[in-house]
């Protein structure tokens, strides 16, 4: 089952395309890292996914073909945004009560037990909690709905390193225990490299990469050779830099077992290194053919 399917999806605001020609088929069970610079179209895609805005062109469905924005989709998807939309004047207890009344299914016992384990007292007002506690409260409200898909739009951006670690540890535990899938938008490439196993990279409203992380790593290498020497014509050069007499190329191979010519050194490319190279590759990018998943 695919948790998200889009075909030629686009969203235009006035004369500007925030997202265009977006075609994805993301399978369930992954923690999907959605990466791109500010204004790339990430939040637009997530807002369409969770039913907060409509598409201008194309088709989109979630969780095996459910229309976005439908009651079935709304019940099965939980969303945590960067601004942690909490009623700051309400106590934690009142927040739990309100959330229970606004949702068909809400596991209050789970939520209270989890907050108790975190040391978050129900008598405290949400606005008086620390940033990390507010993030954990918002995440608890989402997880207590026992969703099939958890969508996170840069929820750790305002948090300190320890709070970010604790937040992501909770997400990973929920994936292991409940089998949910996660789509996480974030600028923290180093953090994503540790937790994500699927990468979608968007730049200028266009999907540039879309594949499992293992397949992307297998199909890219960093190679080093003498400046001026012809590199292998089978390589698609994503980024090229020179240092002295040596040139360093991040290349996309035709196959994971492509031979590196004599006189060249080769090493694996990290996810952060790979993502940054694609983001820098072109100021006016064109779509690439997605990397085929290994069988």
Is 227 a member of any domain?
Answer: yes
Tokens, residue 123 = 């008598």
Look at the alpha carbons of 250, 252, 258, 262 in this order and tell me if their dihedral is positive or negative.
Answer: negative
Pair (90, 230) in one structural domain: no
Q: What is the mean pLDDT of residues 51-71?
A: 93
Pair (123, 152) in one structural domain: yes
Q: Which residue has the higher pLDDT, 39 or 176?
A: 176
Pair (205, 218) in one structural domain: no
Pair (107, 206) in one structural domain: yes
Q: Residue 256's domain spans which residues?
A: 214-281
Rounded to an integer, what distance in angstroms lies between the CA atom of residue 17 and that of residue 41? 9
Rounded to an integer, what distance in angstroms lies between the CA atom of residue 206 and that of residue 288? 10
Tokens, residue 95 = 């927040």
Secondary element (H or E) of residue 99: helix 92-102
Pair (157, 114) in one structural domain: yes
Pair (171, 267) in one structural domain: no
Residue 81: how many other CB atoms lie within 10 Å: 18
Cβ partners under 8 Å of residue 253, min gap 6: 219, 220, 221, 234, 235
What pLDDT sits at residue 210?
A: 92
pTM listed for this prediction: 0.86
Question: Tell me: the pLDDT tens digits for 81-104?
Answer: 877 778 889 999 999 999 999 898
Pair (66, 45) in one structural domain: yes
Pair (6, 133) in one structural domain: yes
Is 286 a member of any domain?
Answer: no
Question: Tell me: the pLDDT tens digits for 103-117?
Answer: 989 999 999 999 999
Pair (18, 28) in one structural domain: yes
Cβ partners under 8 Å of residue 86, min gap 6: 95, 126, 127, 134, 137, 138
Q: What is the mean pLDDT of residues 139-159?
A: 91
Rounded to an integer, what distance in angstroms lies between the CA atom of residue 30 and that of residue 216? 15
Q: How confident is the model at residue 49 (pLDDT cuts 50, 70, 90)?
A: very high
């Amino acid at each position: 089952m695919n948790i998200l399917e889009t075909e030629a999806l686009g969203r235009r605001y006035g004369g500007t395309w925030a997202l265009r020609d977006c075609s994805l088929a993301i399978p369930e069970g992954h923690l999907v890292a959605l990466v791109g610079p500010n204004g790339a179209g990430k939040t637009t895609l997530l807002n369409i996914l969770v039913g907060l805005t409509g598409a201008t062109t194309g088709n989109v469905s979630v969780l095996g073909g459910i229309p976005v924005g439908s009651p079935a989709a709304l019940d099965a998807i939980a969303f945590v945004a960067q601004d942690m939309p909490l009623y700051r004047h309400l106590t934690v207890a009142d927040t739990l009560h309100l959330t229970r009344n606004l949702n068909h299914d809400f596991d209050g016992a789970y939520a209270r037990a989890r907050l108790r384990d975190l040391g978050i007292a129900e008598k405290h007002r949400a606005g008086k909690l620390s940033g990390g506690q507010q993030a954990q409260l918002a995440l608890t409200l989402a997880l207590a709905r026992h969703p099939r898909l958890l969508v996170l739009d840069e929820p750790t951006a305002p948090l300190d390193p320890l709070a970010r670690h604790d937040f992501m540890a909770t997400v990973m535990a929920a994936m292991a225990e409940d089998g949910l899938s996660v789509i996480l938008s974030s600028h923290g490439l180093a953090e994503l490299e540790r937790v994500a196993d699927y990468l979608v990279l968007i730049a200028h409203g266009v999907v540039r990469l879309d594949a499992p992380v293992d397949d992307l790593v297998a199909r890219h290498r960093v190679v080093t050779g003498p400046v001026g020497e012809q590199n292998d014509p089978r390589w698609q050069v994503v980024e090229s830099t020179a240092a002295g007499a040596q040139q360093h190329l991040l290349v996309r191979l035709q196959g994971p077992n492509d031979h590196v010519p004599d006189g060249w050194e080769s090493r694996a490319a990290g996810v952060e290194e790979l993502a940054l190279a694609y983001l820098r590759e072109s100021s006016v990018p064109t779509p690439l053919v997605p990397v085929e998943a290994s069988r």
